[in-house]
Structure 1
Amino acid sequence: MQREFRTAFAPYLWAFFAFIGIGFIFHTLVDPDFWQDWFRPVFAAGLFGGLVGAAEIVSRYRDEPIRACYSPFGLIYLLCNAAMSVAALYLIVRLPESYGAIRSNRIIAAIAAGFGASVIMRTRLAVIRTADNKDVSIGPDIVTRLLLSVIDHKIDRYRALRRQRLVVATVPVMRELGSFRDAANYLTNSLLAFQNLDEALRSQLTVSVEAIDHENLPVDVKLLAMGFIFLSICGEAQFGEVTQNALGLIKTDTRAELIP
C-alpha cells in the first residue's frame, strides 16, 4: 500500500518542489518593482509560454494529450516553458536599449516573450564538431534541450506505465473474443464509430495488425501489441468502452449458444 502511494504521488511532489524552486529563484533574482509594474504582462507571458509547452506535448502523445499535459512531469514541462517566457520578458523590460520597440507596448512584449522565448532559449551561439564527428551546441540550446528532453522522457515513462496497466488488464477480454484474428476484426470494426478518422491512419493500422498476425509469437503477446496500437488511436476512454462492450458480446453469444 505504501509503495503504491509513493508511486502515485511522488511525481506530484517533484512537480510541487519544482514550482517552489522556480518561484524562489525568481523571487530572489528579480526585483519587486518588476512584479508590481508588469504583473499582467508577466501572467500573459507565462500563459503563452505554457501554451507553447502544451502544444509540444500534445504533438507527441496522441492517445491522451490532455492527460499527458497535466501529468506530474507534464506540469513541470509547462512550468519550465512558462518560466523561460517570464525570464525573456524580464530581459525585455531590463534591456530597453535592445528591445525598446517591443518594450513600449506591454501586450506585444508579453506575446514576444511568451511565444518567442522557446526560440531564444533554443538558439545556438556556436556549433563545434567533435573528434567522433558529432555536433555539440554552445549556448542556451544545449541547456534547454537537455532539460526539456529529460522531462519529456519522464512524461513518456509515466504514460507508458499507465498504458501498460490498461492494456494488460484488457488482454483477458480480447482473448475471450476467440483467435487473434477475431479480436483484430472486432477492434478494427469498432473504429467505424469514428467519423473523422484519417484513412491513411486506418490503412497503416491494418498493415500493422497484419504484420503482428504473421509474427511467430504467443497469442497474448500479439494481443498486447495490438492493444497498444489501438489505444494510441482511440484513447483511454474509447478503448475501455470497446473492451467493456466486448464482454457484453461474449455473454450474449454464450447465452445464444445455450438456447436450444
Structure 2
Amino acid sequence: MEGWNQLVGVMGAWQVGPLANPPEAFWVVLIGLLIGAVETVSRYKGDPARALFSAPAALYIAVNVIACLGMLVCLRMMRPDWLFTDLKDDPDLQKLSLILASGFGAMTLFRSSLFRIKTADGELGFGPSFLLDTLLFASDRAIDRGVAPPRGNAVQAIMKDVAFERAQIALPVYCFALMQNVPSQEQRDVGVQVKELAAFGLPPEISAFNLGLILINVVGTGVLKQAVKDLGPYISYDPLAGDRRFTAIATLMNGFDVRQAQQLAEACFSLGRPVSLNGLGDLRIRIAQLGQEEIDSRLKALILGRWLVDLVGHSTVALAIESLKQGPGAPPPPPGQPPAAGNAQDSPRA
C-alpha cells in the first residue's frame, strides 16, 4: 500500500510539474525526430530497425531536429505579426501555431530549392535542399555499408539450400501471400527483377542468393525465412551436397546414352515437379547445344545430369532413367521401391 501511495505521489507531481505542460521546444524536437525516423525507415524496408539505430541515421535525424529548433529560434526572433500579434489573445492556439510552423516549416524550407539543373546523375537543386540532400546521400551510403554484411549473412543462411530454378516463381508468390498487403505494382516490379536475374545466366547458388536479397527488400528477413522453411521440400536441392552430390550424379548418369537426352528431359518434365515454361524452353535449347559440342559423351551425361537434378530433383531423374531403360511401354517402379539404376539415397543438402 505504501508503494502505491508513492507511485500516486509521483504521478501527481508529474501532472503539476513542468512536464504537465511541455514547452514548444519539446514538441518541435519530437516533430524533427519523427520526420527523420520515418524518412529513414521508408528507405530501408528490408531491415528498418537496424538502419534506424545506426550512427549515420542518428546523425541525419539530429540534423532534422536542429533544423526544427533553428526555425523555432528564428520565429521567436522575428516575431511575425500573424503569429505573435493576431494570436496573442489565444495562447493555446498561438503555441500550437508556433510548434507546427517550426516543425513542419523547417522541413519545407530545407526541402526547397531556388532552381534545379539536370546532371548525368539526375536533377541537382541549389538552395537549402542541397544541404539536406547531400547529407541524406552520405547517410544512405553509410547505412548501406553497415546493413550490408548482416543482410548477406542472413540471405546466405536462409537461401543456402534453395534451388533457383524451382524457387524463382514459387517463393515470391508465397512470400506475397504471407504478407497479404504487398501492392500489386511492387509485386510486378519484383517479377521483373527476377526475370532479369534469370536472364543473367549466373550459377544457381548465386542466383538464389540474389533472389533472397530481392525478396528481403520487400518482405523482410523473418517472412523470407518462414517461406523457405514452409516450401523447403519443393524448392530445395534434393540430393547430397558438395562432392557427395556430384558423386551421386555421376553414379546416376553412369552408362547413360546421351543420344536420349531430349527423351530423358521430357520424361523428367512429365514425372517431376512443375517447372516454369521459361525453364523448360531454356533447358531444351541447352540440351540441343550440348549435343553439338565436341566433348566426351560421359562428360555430356554428367552435364545433363546436373541440369536435370537441379531442375526436377535426383529421385525424378533416377525414375525417368529407369523408365527409359525398361522401354516405352514399361510401367514405372512400384511406389516406395527405388529405381535400380543410379540409386542414391536422398538426404538434405549439407
TM-score bucket (shorter structure): 0.5 to 0.7
Tell me which of 168, 172, 182 is aligned to 1:197. Answer: 182
Q: Which residue of 2 is the match for residue 232 of structure 1?
A: 217
Structure whose residues are more often helix by fraction: 1
| AA partner of residue 102 (structure 1) | L
Paired position in structure 1 for 2:102: 113
TM-score normalised by L of structure 2: 0.52
Q: Which sections of structure 2, spanning at least 5 residues, go unmatched? A: 1-20, 89-93, 240-314, 316-334, 338-350
Compared with structure 1, are the counterparts of its residues 144 and 189 closer, same or farther at alpha carbon in structure 2 (3 Å cutoff)? closer
Deviations 1:41-68 (CA, angstroms, capped at 9, x unpaired): 1010111112222232233223233443
What is the alpha-carbon distance in structure 2 between the residues aligned to residue 245 and residue 71 of structure 1? 32
What are the within-5 Å matches in structure 2 for residues 26-41 of structure 1? 40-41=23-24
The one-letter code matched in structure 2 to 1:229 is: I
Paired letter, 1:110: I
Give the CA deviation at 1:235: 0.8
CA RMSD of aligned residues (A): 3.4
Structure of greater relative contact order (alpha carbons < 8 Å, 6+ residues apart): 1
Q: How far apart, CA to CA, are the structure 1 residues paired with 2:118 and 2:171?
A: 49
Distance 1:51 1:202 in 2: 29
Question: What's the CA shift string for 1:148-206, capped at 9, x where partnerless?
Answer: 321232123222232222112223121xxx4x221224412423223222222222322
User: Which residue is equivalent to 2:159?
Assistant: 171
Structure 1 pair 186/88, CA: closer, same or farther in 2 (3 Å)?
same
Contact 2:166 2:234 in 1 (8 A): no
Select 1:206's aligned residue among 191, 203, 207: 191
Q: Any conservation in 1 of the 2:171–2:231 contact (CA below 8 Å)? A: no
- Taking structure 1 as reference, are residues 259 and 77 closer, same or farther at Cα in structure 2, changes over 3 Å only? farther
Shift in CA distance, 166/40, structure 1 to aligned 2, threshold 3 Å: same
Instruction: Please tell me the residue identity of whatever aligns with 2:144.
Output: D
Larger radius of gyration between Structure 1 and Structure 2: 2
> What's the TM-score once normalised by structure 1's chain length?
0.68
**Counterpart in 2 of 1:13?**
none
Q: Match of 2:166, as an amino acid?
A: D
Tell me if structure 2 keeps the 8 A contact 1:68–1:155: yes
Residue 222, structure 1, aligned to residue 207, structure 2: yes
Which residue, 88, 101, 104 being the options, matches 2:82? Answer: 101
Residue 115 of structure 1 deviates from its aligned partner by 1.1
Aligned length: 211
- 1:135 deviates by 6.3
